Amino acid sequence: MKIVENAEKVAKERIIGTVCDILDKSDNPEKNINRIFGLIKKLSKDEDSKRGIANVQSYYNDMPSVHEFINDILINTNKNCLKKFFTNFLANAIWNGIPKREKWMEKEDTKIPFVLLISPSMRCNKHCTGCYAANYPKDSGLKYEEVDKIVGQARELGIHYIVVLGGEPFFVDYMWKIYEKYSDIQFTPFTNGSLITEEVAEKISKLGNVMPMLSLEGFEKETDARRGQGTFKRVMQSMDFLHDKGIPFGVSSATARNNVDTVTSPEFINMLIEKGARMSWYFIYMPVGEKPDLNNMLTPEQRIELGRRTRKIRTTMPYFTIDFFNDAPYVGGCIAGKYYCHINADGDVEPCIFAHIAVDNIRSKDLIDIFRGNLFKTLRHRQPYNKNMLRPCMMIDNPHVIREVASTCNAHATDPSVDAMLHDEEFQKKIQKLADDFAPVAEEAWNKDFNGKGNEEFSRG
């Protein structure tokens, strides 16, 4: 068995090295793309990966926008960043990581997440309206040694993709040491963009394994209204610094009633493409954080339309979009505690960036023992919470779930607004009304857009 494993490891390393050589030297992507796809297929052992690669190749050959998107990435991306993304995200996180993580499931019914989210500190130079991080004490935070321990344990478990949040992640100077030490992990900091300078861009270029996501709520009017005057222009400057060095980056947009049409408009997406952005993450405004205003939340119709627009963008424009809620059918509904989780600045391990409940703390337990815990297993065994995977959330679509799970697992709230979800009957009634109002609209879209079917295999974890 050892001989077979070593032979497979050598074969994988040879294929990865060949792809990296092609990426490093290629100035003609169309000439080499099918060779790259062929080599990648050899690395894909699980059926999901094989289907995914086949779909991407089909999109590349059949969709002009995808063809343009992939070619532009291969031609204009910094070679070091391109090779690191291929090695860390595709080879390490997916092809090498999946079998490593699956061994825990086979051995003891313990699910190791694909991605780990971590907030080293809540310090920030902004005070954005509705930010979930606003209520956290700014003097709290994890030490370098604690983050080093978390990332090291994650890597041992087969996690090679880590999202860095906050607060503002570029406030935490020691994260540069983390990025450098764990060069085989892909890091994605979600940043307000204000601290990205030419010097910072140069650091990212040399590291290669850091791909920032910059927050924008639309054009200048919408962004500055939420994030403060001058924010939009500063983010545009940060994009220029990154683009000039060929660093891949994306955009994160919190969508509320006032800006959902703007951030999904062709004008906005074309502006992002021109600035060099590769992708957008859409997160709907959630009733968490400082003084949550339910009137900011998308109407049921807006929420469904957001999904339709994001799917249209990624099939008609040379740009990639992820809709955190409306893409749920593709990943089996809610992914909290199953495919991802969040460690906050106090070390509490939460199942979701919005579901601020926790049982365990990384300061007193190792990651593997937390994943073995009742909270994560209970969530996985209950998923999907709803047959309609357009209603995936335990907080706003199926609000009884977060109360029942918190009670069953003796989980405590790590945010006052979530404490209200668990214990304030008036707030619970408001959330339930949101869920009830969304249900019939979601049911119609579920049948019309998805034929009433989602990824059942993924839903079981």
- How crowded is residue 14: how many other Cβ atoms within 10 Å of its Cβ? 12
| Euclidean distance between CA atoms 45 and 63, whole angstroms | 26
Query: What is the number of other CB atoms lying within 10 angstroms of the CB of residue 27?
Result: 8
307, amino acid identity = G
In the structure, what pLDDT confidence band is assigned to residue 175 with cuts at 50, 70 and 90? Answer: very high
Q: Is the pLDDT of residue 30 over 80?
A: no
Of 141, 190, 142, which is closest to residue 162 (Cα–Cα)? 190
Question: Any idea what the Cα angle at residue 372 is, between residues 368 and 378, rounded to 5°?
Answer: 140
Assigned token pair, 103 = 């061994």
Bridging pattern class, strands 412-413 and 357-358: antiparallel
Q: How large is the average pLDDT for residues 20-26?
A: 77
Residues 369, 8: Cα–Cα separation, whole Å: 30
Confidence of residue 21 (pLDDT cuts 50, 70, 90): confident
Cβ contacts of 26-31, under 8 Å, gap ≥ 24: 26/74, 27/75, 29/70, 29/71, 29/74, 29/75, 30/71
Q: pLDDT at residue 368 above 60?
A: yes
pLDDT at 360: 98
pLDDT grade for 2, boundaries at 50, 70 and 90 = low
The 8-class DSSP code of residue 124 comes to: -
Q: pLDDT (tens digit, 9 = 90+) per residue, 4-17?
A: 455 566 677 788 88
Task: Name residues whose C-beta falls within 8 Å of residue 252's C-beta, 6 or more positions apart in sequence.
Answer: 190, 213, 214, 215, 216, 280, 281, 283
* Alpha carbon distance 134, 136 (integer Å): 6
Q: What are 263-286's pLDDT values in tens digits?
A: 999 999 999 999 999 999 999 999
Q: Given a cut of 70, is residue 1 above it in pLDDT?
A: no
Q: Kindly give the residue spans of alpha helices, DSSP state H, lying in 208-356.
A: 220-227, 231-244, 260-263, 266-275, 300-316
Residue 154 structure tokens = 């994650």
DSSP state, residue 349: E
Q: Name the residue among 315, 320, 322 with its Cα closest to residue 65.
A: 315
* Longest distance between any two alpha carbons in the chain, whole Å: 63
More confident residue, 207 or 291: 207
Structure tokens at 376: 């994560």
* Percent of the chain residues past pLDDT 90, beyond the cut: 72
**Count of CB atoms within 10 A of residue 419's CB?**
16
Residue 358: exposed, middle, or buried by beta-carbon count in 10 A (0-12, 13-18, 19+)?
Answer: buried
What's the pTM?
Answer: 0.93
Give dist(CA 454, CA 268) in Å, integer. 30
Region at 215 (left for phi over 0; alpha for psi -120 to 50; beta for the rest): beta
The whole-chain average pLDDT of the chain stands at: 90
Highest mean pLDDT among 130-144, 214-228, 421-435: 421-435
3-state secondary structure of 209: coil
Closest CA to 407 of 349, 373, 359: 359
Contact 382, 393 (CB under 8 A): no
pLDDT in tens, 117-131: 999 998 766 555 555
How confident is the model at residue 91, as a pLDDT?
87
Domains of the chain and CATH, by start: 1-96 (no CATH), 110-460 (3.20.20.70)
The per-residue pLDDT for range 317-365, each reduced to its tens digit, is 999 999 999 999 999 999 999 999 999 999 999 999 999 999 999 999 9
Q: Dihedral of CA 21/27/31/33: which sign?
A: positive
pLDDT (mean) for 371-377? 96
Which of 124-138, 160-174, 255-269, 316-330 has the weakest average pLDDT?
A: 124-138
pLDDT given at position 460: 79
Please give the structure tokens belonging to residue 433.
Answer: 């009304």
